[in-house]
Amino acid sequence: MLLRLALSKAPSSCQLLAKSSKLNLSLVRNYARGPVRPPRNPVIVERAPVRSQPTLKEKLMGPPSANAFSLGKGAAAGAAAVGLGALCYYGIGMGKHTSIADNAIMWPQYVKERIQSTYAFFGGSCLLTAASAAAVFRSPRLLSLASRGGFVWTLASFALVIGSGAVTRSIQYEKGLGPKHLAWAVHCALLGAMIAPLCFLGGPILTRAALYTGGIAGGLSTIATCAPNDKFLYMGGPLAIGLGLVFASSLASMWLPPTTMLGAGLASMSLYGGLILFSGFLLYDTQLLVRRAEVYPEYAYAPFDPINASMSIYMDVLNIFIRIATIMGLNHRK
């Protein structure tokens, strides 16, 4: 049995012969083919370089995303919601402390006259600025001068406006026409010349921007009047810090256009951040105006100065108008 099993497992002679013949045939074929030589011009396959992650500088200087101004718009919408809530809260008399509207009942006549004259000069400042902007826009030579760009010209314009404002504030106020009224008119005219290029946006956009600015200024003034009379007087420090940030972003946006991610972020901070900032300044300056009108003595060496009191509110409203007009112009282009 074991022998048969071994014979059955062992290969037969025929099988061995077949295997040997196949092996010899494969050797002959390989010898006939000869050695395989490499081609004379080998094809080198280059691998595509693996792209690394962009650096922080490449991200900041790259093109902005489609929602580059979304953060600024969200902040402005949030500030508007807070302002509307404050208007409703203080408007229905839910504040626990006395407000400016409550104290107005006990004001003497000279306090009322001070506030009325201050807002009269504020209205006159707006009219002078609008008339100056329209006159400069109609003059090609003056318009080209006002539209001139460049770092040196921008600094010169800022120095001219700030210097005229400082001169106006330094002159003592006197009733009737005097040098202070002339300096005030020149200051307003210079500001109108600076914003004259905004007239390129068109009359409809500027009209809507003026209406929106009036609505915002009226709403904020109502909040300042209905709120406790010292509610917003503690905002001076944070507002000063915010003013520095907005001013720095406005200057930096001169070198970084909004076509880059960093430039778009700076432009958003200058536009929407400035809109929120000067709205806060309007609340602060309104209550500061009323406080000064109340505490300034009736009989003093120098009379109460309504021009200086109106200039702060005027600058707040003017900055709000410039930013609203710019935002509307950008949305109209899209």
Q: How many CB atoms are closer than 10 A to CB 133?
A: 22
Contact assessment for residue 235 and residue 284, using Cβ atoms and an 8 Å cutoff: yes
The model's confidence at residue 46, banded by pLDDT at 50, 70 and 90, is low
Question: Could you give phi then psi for residue 232, rounded to 5 degrees?
Answer: -105, 5
Q: Is 89 left (phi over 0), alpha (psi -120 to 50) or beta?
A: alpha
Query: What is residue 122's predicted lDDT score, i.e. its pLDDT?
Result: 92
Q: Which residue bears the tokens 């806060």?
A: 280
Query: What is residue 6's predicted lDDT score, i.e. its pLDDT?
Result: 37
The reported pTM is: 0.76
Query: What is residue 13's predicted lDDT score, i.e. its pLDDT?
Result: 44
Q: Is 327 left (phi over 0), alpha (psi -120 to 50) or beta?
A: alpha
Dump pLDDT digits (tens) for 287-330: 899 888 888 887 777 888 889 889 989 999 999 999 898 888 87
Rg of the chain on CA atoms, in Å: 39
Residues in the chain: 334
Domain ranges of the chain: 105-333
- The candidate with the shortest Cα–Cα distance to 197, out of 256, 272, 145, is 145
Q: How many CB atoms are closer than 10 A to CB 306?
A: 21
Dump pLDDT digits (tens) for 53-62: 666 555 555 5
Query: What is residue 151's predicted lDDT score, i.e. its pLDDT?
Result: 65
CA 108, CA 115: separation in Å to the nearest integer? 12
Contact assessment for residue 307 and residue 181, using Cβ atoms and an 8 Å cutoff: yes
Dump pLDDT digits (tens) for 65-121: 556 566 666 777 777 787 777 777 666 666 667 777 777 788 888 888 889 999 999
- The candidate with the shortest Cα–Cα distance to 324, out of 266, 275, 268, is 275
Burial class (CB in 10 A: 0-12, 13-18, 19+), 192: buried
- On average, the pLDDT of the chain sits at 75
The model's confidence at residue 149, banded by pLDDT at 50, 70 and 90, is low
Query: What is residue 273's predicted lDDT score, i.e. its pLDDT?
Result: 83
